[in-house]
Amino acid sequence: MILVIGDIIVDEFIWGDVSRISPEAPVPVVAVDRIDRRLGGSANVVRNLHALNTPSAMFGLVGDDEPGQWVHQRLGELHSDDSGVITKKNDRPTAIKTRIIARQQQVVRYDREWTQAAHPTSHAKLLMTLDELQPRSSATILSDYGKGVLTPDFIRQLIDRLQGGIIAVDPKPEHTDAYRGATVITPNLSEAAAMAGMEAVNDDTHVEAIAKKLHEKLQLNYVLLTRSECGMTLFDGSQNHHIPTVARDIFDVTGAGDTVIAVFTACLARGDDALTAAPLAHKAASVVVGKLGTATAEWQEIESH
């Protein structure tokens, strides 16, 4: 079982049609056909693990509201352990990003979220559940969307507690120093450059220098730096392995980073070495960028890609 800790977001899509302008204000009136929801933010990593048939447990916060109940239900459908999903009474609503889409055009997006640092009592509850589930886990993913669950102090506590196990981090540059001692970080180029205090240039020489600096500074086993259309680079402390993308049709790159960390960690957790895991993570990312919407990839698709 892989533990996923981070900011749970609900992605909501309201599909409809526009036939007139509102008499109340110069805005379109959308007649709603359908409403879709998807687990987003860190919970998108759980969706990816489910597609890989890898059991997971989600740790994060939801509000005492209907979207929060939906999160629990959806995690249940994905067979993900939700005992680490804490319901915050009163103050903190479930983070939800709602897009209204009419005739293939996004009309507006509105976000409801609370990005202040989680309360110490919430962190204490998360740690209690972590202690219960950790003996059954094979790896942990810290999926840092910067929305308040993963504060630097809490990240330190997690990494100290999880020492000896596989800890993969999808980082936020603001929290760089807290990730010291993790197994691997999976930043994209601009995140990695910000973390290293270097320029974000997407060529091998610059990327190698950035990866080396982060590897040393944070005492990691690996840096897996994702480079959009240039693929990814794995640095293992002695060598750089560049994995280029093969030209193909790109439909939607959102969520590719979640796929990368899910597949890379699932591979390490089952005993693959990093040099085997990285090309599989890369293939999986190539599968999902070729699909519309925040997509996931199954083993069969990854292997046959």
From start to end of the chain, where are the E strands?
2-6, 8-21, 28-41, 56-63, 81-88, 95-102, 105-112, 139-143, 167-170, 184-185, 222-226, 232-235, 240-243
258 belongs to the catalytic site: yes
Residue 245 binding target from Mg ion, ligand ATP, none, CB below 5 to 8 Å by type: ligand ATP
Contact 155, 142 (CB under 8 A): yes
Residues 9-38 close enough to bind Mg ion by CB under 5 A = none
Smallest distance, Å, CB 115 to ligand ATP? 17
Kind of pairing, strands 222-226 and 232-235? antiparallel
Nearer to ligand ATP, 31 or 275 (CB): 275
Residue 285 binding target from Mg ion, ligand ATP, none, CB below 5 to 8 Å by type: ligand ATP
Nearer to ligand ATP, 176 or 226 (CB): 226
Nearer to ligand ATP, 42 or 94 (CB): 42
Distance CA 61, CA 46 (A): 15
Q: List the strands of the sheet with 56-63, edge to edge.
A: 81-88, 56-63, 2-6, 139-143, 167-170, 184-185, 222-226, 232-235, 240-243
Within 10 angstroms of residue 230's Cβ, the number of other Cβ atoms is 17
Smallest distance, Å, CB 290 to ligand ATP? 9
Query: Per-residue contact track with Mg ion, 275 to 294, x per CB under 5 A?
Result: --------------------
Reading the block at residue 172, the tokens are 């936020």
Is 171 a binder of Mg ion (CB under 5 A)?
no
Contact 210, 198 (CB under 8 A): yes
Smallest distance, Å, CB 30 to Mg ion? 30
Residue 6 binding target from ligand ATP, Mg ion, none, CB below 5 to 8 Å by type: none
Distance CA 305, CA 257 (A): 18
Half-sphere exposure of 135 (CA within 13 A, CB side): 3
Nearer to ligand ATP, 12 or 191 (CB): 191
Is 6 a binder of Mg ion (CB under 5 A)?
no
Smallest distance, Å, CB 276 to Mg ion? 22
Q: Which of 182, 257, 285, 289 binds Mg ion (CB under 5 A)?
A: 257
Residues that bind ligand ATP (CB under 6 A): 188, 226-229, 231-232, 245, 250, 253-258, 260, 282, 285-286, 289
Contact 189, 209 (CB under 8 A): no
Nearer to Mg ion, 60 or 257 (CB): 257
Residue 128 binding target from Mg ion, ligand ATP, none, CB below 5 to 8 Å by type: none
- The residue type at 218: L
Distance CA 277, CA 272 (A): 6
162 contact partners, CB below 8 Å, separation of at least 6:
134, 140
Question: Which of 153, 258, 272, 273 is labelled catalytic?
Answer: 258
Contact 169, 34 (CB under 8 A): no
Smallest distance, Å, CB 186 to ligand ATP? 7
Smallest distance, Å, CB 278 to ligand ATP? 10
Nearer to ligand ATP, 129 or 226 (CB): 226
Give the CB-nearest residue to ligand ATP. Answer: 257
Binding site for Mg ion (CB under 5 A): 257
For the annotated catalytic residues, the residue numbers are 258
